[in-house]
């Protein structure tokens, strides 16, 4: 159990590193090789005697979920051809903790009542790369991780996550969600640390996100502006990624990114013409492939002195209309900690 928890913690940490060390969203522990299986295990699967609460049914060319014996708390069904979840399949394991269904062919209308909604103690539901058009549910209030990456979600009712005070990570990337479809969906998530809504159809950053948020990923949407004071409502936010959107200078209120909590800001692949105002404590700023034509040092350092300087370590400006020679004379004093400043 320690090893499984360690891998999930490592996954979360990997998401916060630089530009970018992306985590492997497909990774789930596999069954140990050449081990004895419990005699009560479904014949299509493996239940290692040294880990008797886990049942590994991944990569077995399954088209259905086998009956799960009592005592199983960790169920791995990823990388199969499962198309539906039939009633009764989880009747013996209503105290299931982890359910992994990634990379199957399950559609929303093929999830029968009395299945996932009966799993009141479920902590992790990994349901990426399927054919869901709406989130499954009702879901357990015990969930701390929910992954619905690369489905066909176009609706996300505000009540879907109601009362989930333990939810820390929520992955909704690569779907068809709009700004309107997620309105009010995150307001009750008191413990949320990571929210990934990248590769959807959002025109604005999600509203009502909780102040506990540490990482917000909204890359590859249609966002053209940032609401005034948006980051001031997120005092714990350290990583904000809004690359590959439609941001323009007029959509960036003065000082909106000048917050002391932020460590990484990615605004690359947008339509900005100037460097936005940032806080001295920001460490990584990605502005490549915009339309920036001036190196405005005052937006990085209001003034420089022995004790006043930027903590930027990475500044990317390649793919813009400025060169290294555009930097003002005082740049070296302001950016004394920078180890990577990239122009074309």
Q: Which residue has the higher pLDDT, 231 or 303?
A: 231
What does the pLDDT read at residue 26?
A: 46
Q: Does residue 200 form part of some domain?
A: no
Assigned domain for 324 exists: no
**pLDDT of 1 strictly over 70:** no
Using alpha carbons, select from 128, 162, 163, 121 the residue that is nearest to residue 147: 128
**pLDDT (tens digit per residue) in 146-167:** 999 999 999 999 999 999 999 9
Contact 231, 252 (CB under 8 A): no
Closest CA to 128 of 152, 144, 111, 158: 152
In a 3-state reduction of DSSP, which class is residue 249? helix
Check: CB of residue 91 under 8 Å from CB of residue 109.
Answer: no
Mean pLDDT of 2-17: 46
What gap in Å lies between CA 107 and CA 129, rounded to an integer?
11
**pLDDT for the residue 15:** 47
Where does the pLDDT of residue 2 fall: very low under 50, low under 70, confident under 90, or very high at 90 and above? very low
CA dist 184 and 244 (Å) reads: 25
Note whether residue 227 is domain-resident: no
Radius of gyration of the chain, Cα coordinates, nearest whole angstrom: 23
280-307 pLDDT, tens digit each = 999 999 999 999 999 999 999 988 888 8
Q: Which residue has the higher pLDDT, 6 or 110?
A: 110
Residue 128 within a domain: yes
How many other C-beta atoms can be found within 10 angstroms of the C-beta atom of residue 250? Answer: 9
DSSP-derived letter for residue 293 is: -
Residue 7 predicted with pLDDT over 60 = no
Average pLDDT over residues 69-83: 97
Q: For residue 3, what pLDDT is reported?
A: 44
Q: Which has the closest alpha carbon to 75: 61, 103, 96?
A: 96
Q: 131 lies in a domain?
A: yes
Q: Identify whether 72 is part of a domain.
A: yes
Number of structural domains found in the chain? 1
Determine the average pLDDT of the residues in 302-327.
93
**pTM (2 decimals)?**
0.90
CATH code of the domain containing 139? 3.80.10.10
Expressed as residue numbers, the domain containing 106 is 1-152
pLDDT value of residue 34: 52
pLDDT of residue 30: 59
pLDDT attached to residue 306: 86
Mean pLDDT score, 118-123: 96
Minimum mean pLDDT range among 5-9, 128-132, 304-308: 5-9
Quick check: 138 pLDDT over 70?
A: yes
C-alpha to C-alpha distance for 95 and 156, rounded to whole angstroms: 26
């Amino acid at each position: 159990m320690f090893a499984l928890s360690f891998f999930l913690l490592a996954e979360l940490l990997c998401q916060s590193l630089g530009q970018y060390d992306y985590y492997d969203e497909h990774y789930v522990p596999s069954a140990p090789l050449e081990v004895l299986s419990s005699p009560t295990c479904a014949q299509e699967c493996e239940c290692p005697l040294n880990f008797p609460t886990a049942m590994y049914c991944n990569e077995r060319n399954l088209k259905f979920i086998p009956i799960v014996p009592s005592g199983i708390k960790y169920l791995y069904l990823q990388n199969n051809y499962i198309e539906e979840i039939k009633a009764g399949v989880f009747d013996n394991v209503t105290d299931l903790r982890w359910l992994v269904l990634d990379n199957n062919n399950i559609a929303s209308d093929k999830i029968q009542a009395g299945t996932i909604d009966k799993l009141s103690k479920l902590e992790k539901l990994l349901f990426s790369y399927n054919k869901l058009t709406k989130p499954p549910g009702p879901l357990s209030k015990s969930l701390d991780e929910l992954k619905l990456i690369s489905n066909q979600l176009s609706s996300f009712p505000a009540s879907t996550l109601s009362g989930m005070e333990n939810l820390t990570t929520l992955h909704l990337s690569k779907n068809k969600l709009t700004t309107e479809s997620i309105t009010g969906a995150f307001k009750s998530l008191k413990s949320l640390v990571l929210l990934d809504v990248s590769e959807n159809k959002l025109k604005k950053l999600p509203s009502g996100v909780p102040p506990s948020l540490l990482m917000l990923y909204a890359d590859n949407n249609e966002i053209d502006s940032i609401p005034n004071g948006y980051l001031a409502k997120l005092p714990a936010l350290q990583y904000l990624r809004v690359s590959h959107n439609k941001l323009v200078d007029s959509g960036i209120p003065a000082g909106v990114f000048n917050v002391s909590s932020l460590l990484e800001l990615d605004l690359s692949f947008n339509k900005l013409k100037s460097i936005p105002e940032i806080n001295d404590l920001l460490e990584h700023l990605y502005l490549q492939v915009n339309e920036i034509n001036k190196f405005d040092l005052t937006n990085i350092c209001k003034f420089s002195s022995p004790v006043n300087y930027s903590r930027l370590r990475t500044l990317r400006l390649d793919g813009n209309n400025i060169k290294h020679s555009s930097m003002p004379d005082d740049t070296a004093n302001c950016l004394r900690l920078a180890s990577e400043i990239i122009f074309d």
